[in-house]
Structures are given as structure tokens and as C-alpha cells.
Structure 1
Amino acid sequence: MQEQHRQPIYACAFNPYQPDGCVPVLATAAKNMITLYECPLDSNKIILVRSIKDPSPDMDIFTLTWCYDITDKAHRIAFGGYSGLIRLVDATTGNLLMNMYGHGDHVNEMRTDPNNSMIFASVSKDTTIRLWNIRVHGPIAILGGYEGHKDQILSLDWSLDSKYIVSCSMDHSIRLWHLGTDKLQERIRDSMTLKGQANFRKELADDCQSGRTIQIHYPIAINTDLHNDYVDCVDTSAIQLVRMDLPDSDIWFIKFDIDPLNRWIVSGNKMGQLCMWDLTNGLPAVNMNVTTKIAECCVRQICFGANGRLIVAVADDYSVTRLERILEGEDIPPYCNTAGLMNGPTAKKPKRRGRRFGKKRNDSETGSSEDSDTRIS
């Protein structure tokens, strides 16, 4: 399906905080709009739920992350982009909850703490990493400075125990940051009891002047020898790593994903292909195991559903493509489109979505980003 705003889609993410048995909910980000969809597991539909428009028409959203407020028991979405401002919205109503100030330039990536759904980290063109609590307007920690990145940071990820963050940058380096210090952990605990004040600018200034915003200037490890060009994406889900060739990827801002079971790594490229590597037998091969073409333009980001079966890809042709991973020997669901096959020995008749504007397949609902709009203000 294609969204009606006719703008490149830069980000997509499934809600990881839904209870078992719920219909998976997907969020996409393009231009100044967040769009929510349901992806039923018993059909091939992508059903529009709501569109949330940013009040600034000049806003370009580059990234989003799901959070969960354990106090209010509510699902939140934090997003940022060109302006450097991060906004927090209620995923159910679309209402704006908070503007989060701190970054001085584009926000390129955001990731939520795997062990605390109220804490997330962001990276920016201003060369810093910032930690946030969804109940506080200002950052609780800033990572960067003397030994920080020297050019804009493009991506980051958390370690599974939340004690480390790894970041990658246009300075061709990867840096590892330690978050396990007593001072920072105490600040994170304190932030869990706070509620953002009405005078958030004064609160932010007070935090900086009083030292409540923790400053970390030194990473514990730096590697500048891995790559000779920009590092677009990094993910710490894989235990073992090997150099893999991704064809037609000589442009930046292409982001991969690893499935929840750590069995597959998938990335798009500028030719509209999905390239997949099998991780089940240890180190993956240099060349991908499976490829399939889903678009005629750059595929910007991939995301897996919580069960690892659903795969969604977003692209520059404002398309949202849903595929379903079917393992060798499994029956093919009747709603799958079997007209095309992935190239690869382990592939099994994937589900592909129509990529022409307004085209429907198998009575699927394409949805319109102009319907069910929620405008935040």
C-alpha cells in the first residue's frame, strides 16, 4: 500500500508493549505525520487506525520509538527529526503530551531502553546522545563532548542489560558508552518519580545548572577501523558479527533489523530489494541468503513484528510493504500472494503488497493517511 502524503517514509516500528493475542500495531513516520496501522495475523491486511499530524508543516520526521508509561498504563510514541525537537504523543488519542528540548540539530535515531519502557535514547546531528524519561521535558543525561563523536551521529542501540549504548556516526567510528555508573543510575531512578513541570524551560535550565543532567564525555571504547564510509545503522542483538556485502547501498540512511529470535538480519537497498542473511548456523555468509524486490526505489527501514513472523518495509515511494516469513515445510496461508517467490534456498512464497498507488490485492485495505487524522497542537 502507499500513503497519500506522497513523501518518503523514513521510519517504521511495531509496538513491542502489546499483550499477547493483540493485533500487532505498526507506526510509520513521513514528513510531518505519524500513521498507525493494525496488521491482523489471520489476513494480509494493513488497516489504517489513525494519522497524527505534527502542528509544524515544515517538520520532517526521521525516527520514532514506542514507549509505555507504567504509571498511567498508556502507550506513547516519541518522535523527532529535522527540527531537533522531540515530541511525545499518546498513541491511543494522538494528543500531544510533551515537547522535549535539548538537541540542537536533526534527530536521526531513537531507541527505547529494553528494560525500562519509560527511558529512551536519541542521537543527533549535534554529535550528542541524550537519555530521556517520558515524564521529564529535559534530558537526564548527555553523552558526548571531548572524546565523543566528531560528526553527526546516525544510529544507536542498547545492550540487553541496558548498561551500554553503542553509537555510530558519519565520522566513520563506533563508540561504546557505559551507563552503569552509580551517579547515572541514581538520576534515572529519580526521574521515574518526577512529572514534567509546566515551566519546562525553567526546569531544563535548572537541571543543567544544578548538575542533574549527567554529562558523560568519554566512551569506554572507540573503533575507527571498521568502515571507510558512513555508518547508517547499528544493532546489538547479534552476538557474533561478520563482514557482509550489501549491494547497491552507496547512499546513507538505510536501516536494517534483526528478528526477535536473532535468526535473520534484513536490510533494504537503493534498488528496492530486501536482502536477508541467515544467522541460525552461527556466522552469516558474506553474500545474502535470500533477496526479494519490493519497490523501484530505496527501501529506508525494515522492522519485524514481536513474533518475528511479520516483516514491514518502508520506502521512498511512500509505500508500506508487508511480508510474512514462512518457514520451510509450513503450509502457506490462503491469504498469501503466491505470484512471486523470493530468490534463495530457504524462501517460501512470501506475501507481497501492491505497490502501485491505490491498488488493492486480496481485498486488502490500503488505507489513507488523510482519514482518521489527529492533529496535535
Structure 2
Amino acid sequence: MSTPNDETPLMGSTGNATTTPEVDTRRRSQRRPIPPAQATAAAATKAPAERKGGGKGKGKAAVEEEEAPEPQPLPAPMASLRPVQGLGCDAAVGSLVPSGSREFKLCSKHTEGKHPLYAISFNFIDARYYDIFATAGGNRVTTYRGLPDGNLAVLQAYIDADDAQSFYTVSWVSDLRSTPLLVAAGTNMVIRVINCATGKLFKSFIGHGGSINEIRTQPLNPSLFISASKDESVRLWNVHTGICILIFAGGGGHRHDVLSVDFHPSDVHRIASCGMDNTVKIWSMKEFSPYVKKSFTWTDLPSKFPTKVVQFPLMTCVVHSNYVDCTRWLGDFILSKSVENEIVLWEPKTKEQGHGEDSIDVLQKYPVPDCDIWCIKFSCDFHFNQLAIGNREGKIYVWDVQTCPPELITMLSSPQCKMTIRQTAVSFDGSTIVACSKDGSIYRWDEVEHEAAKN
């Protein structure tokens, strides 16, 4: 096992702990408003009961059985939309025969430890750090640089003071001074903000009441990020001021764990979330934009900020029949994945965009064999040209997402890689693909440059 020498412990008493309003997002009357209540630091000291299979597993069998709530009529804003049938145009399904338009080779493998790695992410926030990525797993967050010779160099490792912590997600953000920061979270419900310039813990955010499954950064304003949690809520944060601005939960919110969330790449007011209730929800925060602006100039305690609750999404979409564990915007379209061995590209059409009625149109499907377990997440390059996703056999499928019908660029495999690939990360220009696996290994694949391409 390779261990860096400059590991920096993240002590729970270090940095600034920010406590935010907590919302009880458990099931209740769907028409009843949910008022915010003051959260306490005790919410972060005890991890919630784990799901069977260590919290990440296969389909619905991976969670403990619970008594189903009595069905209740849905108010109009909560009506679930399903794909429109009979349009005379079936979804285009990609072929699993690789086109060979690009070729990649395995350059290096690095074993970080015995704990599973759940997250890996390149830095798209600052062009100076285009070759740096971060991983998260166990109670450790590690940063790496991809060297020109194909190897990986460990830059820093951060060890959380909570030995029972298991980080599920990591994302790059920056403050108003463009300082590179890492935001990571997992089972202990505390969001850690790490200053990569100093190697120290910058802040800790408290507010969620369950494991935090994913964090995503606003691409147009990287001081903002959103978090998706087991407590059935999504939260919008300002990393600069430590404020929880908005909570997406309540009457029209998710009815089970929220597994994934993403910002629209060009519409700063729109996000998408998905989870164990089999739905993808599209939310708008346009009405609350004054509060987003206010969060940058707030000088009082973060806990005194007037955090707002967004109870109803623009749309609730049922595209899959099982857990939806990854969703990403592709322009105005959405890519989403369940445990159905495929990624689906679909278009949400809302009245707000000028359509007569809200509807869903499934456009394309990207097959991914042996991808029938949840907590496998895909990624795209900065320009959204290609998508990479792993499976439980250690293979990686690379799709061109700008073609119709879908084109499988290549399938990456190696005798060294036989464990479940939990997440991939594609570099800025798509020339490097890194992946993290269930056994704590990191794999780096680089595009092969042919002589014809060089000339």
C-alpha cells in the first residue's frame, strides 16, 4: 500500500463549524408546510443506521424493509410524469460494438488502501490545476496529479478524525479569492471543506440529518454547491460565507434517500435530483435568487440567515423503475441511470419553457452490461463530448454523447481491474480517464496518439 508522508488529520475541533437550519424531511402530510428548526452539532456525532451491504449495494434488496406508507392523493404540483408514448419515434439505442474512433491504454494503477473508493473528480474549476484530481473513500480524501509519463503522484491526503467516517462524495469549489477547495462528505453527515493551498481544514458544515451521498459545484459560480442526502433533502450552500441558502424538501420533495444531484450547465436557477423513490425531480430557485445574492454579503452568524425551504419541484419525472443513482444535465437534456444496465438520455419539457403541457421525451439509451447494482456513477469531460461509466466487472464503457444514434467509442478492460468501478472522471479534454474501484484502487487510462493524428 502506498501512503503519502504529508497526511494532514482533520480534527473535528479544527476549523469553523457552521450549523444550519434543519428540516424534518421524513414522510408526512404532503400538503403540510415544513418549518425549519434549529439544528445542533449533536446531529453530526452519530452516524445513521447503515443499509445492508455497507450502504452501497444492489437494487432494492440492499436496504432494510420498512412498512409502506398509506397512499395519498398527489396535489397537482407533485403529479409524476412518465415518458410520452405513441410519438412515432422510439428511443435510439446504442450498439455495443466499439467504433474504435479513439483508443486508450492503461498507464498506471495505484492502490490507496483496503477501503472502497466511492468518488473521484478532476478539477474543472481552475485551469491551472487541470491535471489534478481527488478521491474519497473511508475517512480519507486524497489529491493526485497525473504526470506526463502516465504515472500518478500523491499530493496530499486528509484523514478525518472520525474513524467511522466513510466519504461518499468529493467536489472542487473555490472561494471569492479563487482558492482551490475540496468539499467532501459521507456517513457522519458533516460536510468538510479542505483548503488545498494550506492543507488545512477550512470549514465544517452541519445541517443534514443523514448520510450525504453527493455534492456538486455550480459551474458558473463555484462558490456555490449542492448536497444530496439520505434525509430526503437537497441543500444549497455558499462555501465563502458558510451559509445554507435553500433546502429542497417537503411536500413535493423526495420520499426516500436522495442519491444524486446536478446543476444545469447554463441556467443558474435550475437543478436536478434523483434517488431511491425512483424519480428525477427538476427544481427552480429563480424565485429565491435574492437570497442567493444575499448569502455573499451576509455578515451575521450563518445560523441566523433566513434559509428558505423549496417544497415543490417544477417536475417529478419517472423514467426508471428502480433507484436512480446518477443524474447529469446534458444541455437542456438529462442523462440518468438506474440499475437497469443502461443510461437514458431524455428531454424534460416544461410549461415554463413554452411547452403546452409538462412532458418527458426519451431520446437515446446507452447500454452498460453488468451495471445492475446501484452506486455506480458516470462522468463527462468538460465539453460534454464523451461519457465514461464502469460496471461491477471492472470494465469501463466510453460513449460519445454528441452522436445519434449513440456511438460506443471503446470499452476499457484489464486483467488488473476486476472489481466494481464505483465512479469515473474524465479529464478536461477527454484524453485521460481515471476510475476508482471497490477494492481501493485507482486506474488511469490515456488516449493513444497515432502518428496520423500527430501529423
After TM superposition, is the score higher than 0.5? yes
Give the match for residue 100 of structure 1.
Answer: 205
Name the counterpart of 1:190: 294
What is aligned with 1:243? 365
Whether 1:145 and 2:250 are equivalent positions in the alignment is yes
Task: Find the aligned partners of 2:171 and 2:452 in 1 and give their Cα distance.
Answer: 33
Q: Deviations over 1:155-180 (max 9, x none)?
A: 01111222210111111001000021
Does the residue aligned with 2:366 lie in a helix, a strand or coil?
coil
Partner amino acid for 1:118?
A: S
Q: Structure 2: how far apart are the matches of 1:238 and 1:187?
A: 26
- Cα distance in 2 between the residues matched to 1:152 and 1:196: 32
Residues 124 and 130 in structure 2, CA contact (< 8 A), matched pair in contact too: no
2:286 partner SS? coil
- 8 Å CA contact 2:215, 2:226 repeated in 1: yes
Whole-angstrom CA distance in 2 between matches of 1:261 and 1:325? 17
In the alignment, what sits opposite 2:286?
Answer: 180
1:31 to 132, 138, 152: 138
- Measure the CA separation in 2 of the matches of 1:44 and 1:90: 27
Which residue in the other structure is 2:400 paired with? 278
Instruction: Classify 1:283/1:166 alpha carbon distance in 2 versus 1 (closer, same or farther; 3 Å).
Output: farther
- Identity percentage of aligned residues: 28
Whether the 8 Å contact between 2:141 and 2:158 is mirrored in structure 1 is: yes
- Paired residue for 1:216? 310
* CA offsets 1:119-170 (integer angstroms, 9 cap, x no match): 0000000010000001333411000111111010110111122221011111
What CA deviation, in whole Å up to 9, does each residue of 1:213-234 have, x standing for no partner? 011000001112x111111111
Superposition deviation, residue 31 in structure 1? 0.4
4+ runs of 1 displaced by more than 3 Å?
A: 194-197, 326-332
Task: Tell me the TM-score normalised to structure 1 length.
Answer: 0.79
Q: Tell me which residue corresponds to 1:293.
A: 413
Question: What displacement does 1:93 show?
Answer: 2.1
Distance 1:84 1:137, change over 3 A: same
- Contact 1:264–1:278 (CA<8 Å) still a contact in 2? yes
Deviation of 1:16 after TM superposition, in Å, equals 1.5
> Which residue in the other structure is 1:73 paired with?
178
With 95-104 and 230-239 compared, the bigger mean Cα shift is at 230-239
Q: Which residue of 2 aligns with 1:51?
A: 157
Gaps (5+ residues) in structure 1?
A: 198-202, 333-377
Aligned to 2:170: 64
Alignment RMSD (CA, Å): 1.9
| Structure-1 separation of matches of 2:276 and 2:166 | 20
Give deviations 1:221-252, integer Å, cap 9, x for gaps. Answer: 1112x111111111102555212222111211
Q: How far has the Cα of 1:291 moved from its partner?
A: 1.1
Give 2:321's aligned residue.
228
CA distance 1:196–1:67, change in 2 (3 Å): farther
Unaligned runs of 5+ in 2: 1-108, 334-344, 346-363
Aligned with 1:9: secondary structure?
A: coil
1:289 and 1:196, CA in 2 relative to 1: closer, same or farther beyond 3 A? Answer: farther
**Which residue does 1:256 correspond to in 2?**
378
- The separation in 1 between residues aligned to 2:442 and 2:213, in whole angstroms, is 20
TM-score w.r.t. length of structure 2: 0.66
Render the CA deviation track for 1:79-124: whole Å, top value 9, x for unaligned: 1100111111101222111110110000000000111110000000
Match of 2:274 in 1: 168
Which residue does the alignment assign to 1:335?
A: none
Tell me: CA distance 1:97–1:167, structure 2 relative to 1, closer, same or farther (3 Å).
Answer: same
What SS does structure 2 have at the residue aligned with 1:111? strand
Amino acid at match of 1:13: S
Say how many residue pairs are matched: 314
